[in-house]
Amino acid sequence: MRCKTCGKSFEDCKETVADYMHNSGESGFGWDDNMKMITCDRATYDAAVMAHKKYEPFLNKSIDHYDEMALVVGKDMATGSFARTFADIDLDDDNIDSVPIDCENEATEEVRTNVSSSGTSKRKRKKAQESVEDEQIKLVSEQLGEIANALKQFTVDKTPHLYEEVMSMEVEGFDDDFLCSVFDYLVSHESEAKAFLVKSKKHRKIWLQKFSQG
């Protein structure tokens, strides 16, 4: 179950990825609702990992337990607002018409007006897009924080139950120290822990016998 590490991983994910996007001003980050992961293009990925190696585990990789976490907090934490990357967000330029000056230098004055309008438009567009990106960063940071908190609750709920079920096999003749080792192993191997919990006592006994043989 990776109980000792996954909660910390989500906290790291929340802090490091959101921090990078906020401070670097990079575009190219997004949210894939089907894969449950933070996405980014190759150039953004390379830049992020080169700057901070610790970001690598959280980019373009599915978030484990996402669906379970959604159930724990009692709602769907998925969001469609992150389905597009920041780079895909397109804000229309302000429509500023050039006003030709009726004089001998009409063509020159119109070019100057267009250049000035274009510069103003780009500045407004950049400011507006930065505002949108800040909102997206805030959203994903809050969402990852909620997942991290839910993961902690999930861990608290499941680990004691697993321990009780493993140690209950002592009545089948298994040594207490051996069962403690089994528990430690299953805590670190979530899929096998789930399989163990759904087995009957007969099949658990068979599994434990095989485990004892290495």
Most confident stretch, 45-49, 100-104, 124-128, 149-153: 45-49
Return the pLDDT at 210. 94
Same structural domain for residues 40 and 137? yes
Same structural domain for residues 16 and 61? yes
CA distance linking residue 154 with residue 6, whole number of Å: 11
Same structural domain for residues 66 and 166? no
Output 17 or 50, whichever has higher pLDDT: 50
Six-digit token string for 47 = 């830049």
Same structural domain for residues 8 and 56? yes
Same structural domain for residues 167 and 87? no
What domain range includes position 33?
A: 3-92+133-158
| Domain stop point among 158, 175, 193 | 158
Q: Answer whether residue 114 is part of any domain.
A: no
- In tens, the pLDDT along 129-144 reads 777 777 777 777 777 7
Mean pLDDT of 40-56: 78
Write the CA distances from 87 to 25, 35, 41, 136, 163, integer angstroms: 11, 20, 10, 12, 47
Show the beta-strand stretches assigned E in the chain. Answer: 29-32, 37-40
Same structural domain for residues 41 and 83? yes
- In tens, the pLDDT along 146-200 reads 766 666 655 556 788 899 999 999 999 999 999 999 999 998 888 899 899 999 9
Q: Answer whether residue 74 is part of any domain.
A: yes
